[in-house]
Amino acid sequence: HEFDLVITNGVCVTAGDVAPYDIGIKDGRIHLLAPSGSLNRANSARIIDAEGAYVTPGGVDCHVHLEEPALFGRGSSSDTYETGTRSAIAGGCTTIVTFAPQNKVEPSLLKALANTHIKARGNSYCDYGFHIMVGNPSEQALSEMKTLVENEGVTSIKIYMTYTALQLRDDQILSVLLKARQTRMLTMIHAENGDVLNWLTDQLESQNLVAPKFHSSSRPPILETEATNRAIALSSLISNTPILIVHVSEPGATLRIRQAQTNGQPIFAETCPQYLFLTRDDLDAPGLEGAKCVCSPPPRDKASQDAIWTGLSNGTFTVLSSDHCPFNYEDAERGKKTCITVAHPAGRFREIPNGIPGVETRLPLVFSSGRLPLTKFVEVSSTGPAKLYGLYPRKGALLPGVSDADLVVWYPEARRPDIVVSNAMLHHATDYTPYEGREVANWPRYTVLRGKVVWDRDDGGVLGQKTFGQFVKRGPSLLGRIWETVDEQGEFDVAGL
């Protein structure tokens, strides 16, 4: 055969345009794009007729937590690499980047990486990479960053301005940013003021305001705006080293990021479906139900949702990730219900593990919303993350001879099923979805990973295997040619010293 797989009669959507092409796939790569219908009798092992549907590059979700220990409250992840990546492909996502968490008492980042490789290897339905979550910026940890970039294909780290297990002081953040600048690491920053939210939590508790909805009160928007502003300031002190503010939820932070970008600072930003589709009212559901929407930052109000949609449209946000950070609801030892104690039989928000599942629902929710042009949808959910995290153009693109044949074939208008999201239809191992009951207008009909059909919604469901996903070594971030000034300047300035 000339091709292993052909997709005919599709309308290809990339970050650049929307146009009808047939796609010829060989040896796991996009082999050629041809005029629509021209390959419908090609010499191919298999031909899929897209029937006029949109075909997009496979989703790239660079913010996924799997098999993590208790870091965000008491619970630990309800999804393993196996169940989380199964869920990913069923939602059209072909590449994820998860976190390799560094223990606070563990000085080595390479050790954290090795431990995470062991969990993922042979257990992944989709391709995957790792960020290192730096909880202990020891001398050793900082000195290992060069090796991570140069030998391990790990070119990003995440640091935290909150969470007891992870929070760094500003001087520690500066040390990390300095090393990141020297080694071409992209630093992801969780921007919430941990000291302030702990103080507010104490205040609320002292008034016995402990229900899930007070999680939102403990983290008002200003505390995210402040931390975002501080992170941007710290980056500017390290000669504008590039940072990415993760999971931005509110207008103040969005505006501050926009201003920094306008000033030419390499400040990138991410948002997530929970800030587009959930509000703080969802935390106020009866009983402990609101715990199902407890994540940090918390969902905000309607006006904030609109500001986040606008930020996606106008380019403030480079990436739309899931922040899939799953905990079971019913699990009294590791899940949301760890917050129920003898002293607090109705639950206590301080103890609710922070995070919600969403790796499978990310693309269908946003694709179906009709609120983004399709090219923008592909840009923020696939191409943008691939560029930002050094996966492009192998991922996030349809470049013949270059890109992996990672694709989603959606349903054509005439065959669109009525889909109401329910946890029963999802493929994670988590016992709920915060999007239960929501109607979506489309869903990935086929997911193709490196030329193999790994998801066929109408015929077999998950067809891939947990041994098929490969670790992807990533290069330095490609966005904005952000590292070039490092070359030009050689030894760069710290705060103009």
Residues that bind Zn ion in the complex, under the rule CB under 5 A = 190, 323, 325
Tell me the closest approach of the beta carbon of residue 375 to Zn ion, in angstroms. Answer: 27
Single-letter amino acid, residue 292: K
Which residue in the shown chain puts its C-beta closest to Zn ion?
190
User: Minimum CB separation from ligand URP for residue 77, in Å?
Assistant: 10
Among all chains, which residue has been given the structure tokens 């592909």? 378
Using DSSP's 3-state secondary structure scheme, residue 186 falls into strand
Q: 463-490: b or e for each residue (b if 16 or more CB lie within 10 Å)?
A: bbebebbbbbebebbbbeebbeebeeee
Task: Choose the one of ligand URP, Zn ion, none that binds residue 177, judging by a C-beta under 5 to 8 angstroms depending on kind.
Answer: none
What is the Cβ-side half-sphere exposure of residue 431, based on CA atoms within 13 angstroms? Answer: 12
Which CB, 300 or 457, lies closer to Zn ion?
300
Q: Residue 427's closest CA among 467, 455, 395?
A: 455
Nearer to ligand URP, 325 or 391 (CB): 325
Query: At CA 37, angle to CA 35 and CA 38, rounded to 5?
Result: 60
- Which residue number, 72 or 392, has a Cβ lying nearer to ligand URP? 72
Contacts of 293 (CB under 8 A, 6+ apart): 212, 274, 278, 282, 283, 285, 299, 356, 434
CB closer to Zn ion out of 181 and 190: 190
In this complex, which beta carbon is closest to Zn ion, that of residue 186 or of residue 454?
A: 186
295 binds, among Zn ion, ligand URP, none (CB under 5 to 8 A by kind): ligand URP
Helix, strand or coil, per DSSP, at residue 352: coil
Q: Which is nearer to ligand URP, 30 or 352 (CB)?
A: 352
Beta bridge pairs of residue 7: 23, 48
Q: Which does 354 bind (CB under 5 to 8 A by kind): Zn ion, ligand URP, none?
A: ligand URP
The item of ligand URP, Zn ion, none sharing an interface with residue 72, based on CB under 5 to 8 Å by kind, is ligand URP
| Spatial distance between the Cα atoms of 167 and 173, rounded to a whole number of angstroms | 10
Smallest gap from residue 491 Cβ to Zn ion (A): 32
- Provide the 10 A C-beta neighbour count for residue 370: 10
Shorter beta-carbon distance to ligand URP: residue 183 or 354? 354
Our CB check for ligand URP shows the closer of 4 and 323 to be 323
Shortest CB 275 distance to Zn ion, Å: 13
Minimal distance, residue 283 CB to ligand URP, in Å: 12
Residue 201 binds which entry of ligand URP, Zn ion, none, with Cβ cut-offs from 5 to 8 Å by kind?
Answer: none
- Residue 95 contact, options ligand URP, Zn ion, none, Cβ 5-8 Å cut-off depending on partner type: none
Burial class (CB in 10 A: 0-12, 13-18, 19+), 310: middle
Tell the smallest beta-carbon distance from residue 324 to Zn ion (Å): 8
Polymer length in residues for the chain: 497
Q: How far is the CB of 354 from Zn ion (least distance, A)?
A: 8
Compute the distance between CA of residue 177 and CA of residue 242 in angstroms, rounded to an integer.
9
Work out how close the CB of 207 gets to ligand URP at its nearest, in angstroms, rounded to a whole number: 24
Q: Which residues bind ligand URP (CB under 6 A)?
A: 65, 72, 190, 247, 295-296, 323, 325, 354-355
Nearer to ligand URP, 154 or 325 (CB): 325
Helix (H) or strand (E) holding 189: strand 186-190
For residue 231, give the 3-state DSSP assignment.
helix
Backbone torsion region of residue 464, taken as left when φ is above 0, otherwise alpha when ψ lies between -120 and 50, otherwise beta: beta
Nearest residue to 172 via CA among 198, 206, 141: 141
Which of 226/323 has CB closer to Zn ion?
A: 323
> How many CA atoms within 13 Å lie on the side-chain side of 417?
10
Query: Closest approach of Cβ 346 to Zn ion, in Å?
Result: 27
Q: How far is the CB of 379 from ligand URP (least distance, A)?
A: 22
Question: In the bound complex, what is the minimum distance in angstroms from residue 65's beta carbon to ligand URP?
Answer: 6
Closest CB to Zn ion among 335 and 412? 335
Give helix 139-151 / helix 170-183 axis angle, nearest 10°: 30
Integer angstrom CA distances of residue 39 from 48, 223, 243, 410: 10, 55, 44, 19
CA distance 63 to 433: 17
Q: Which residues pair with 269 in a beta bridge?
A: 245
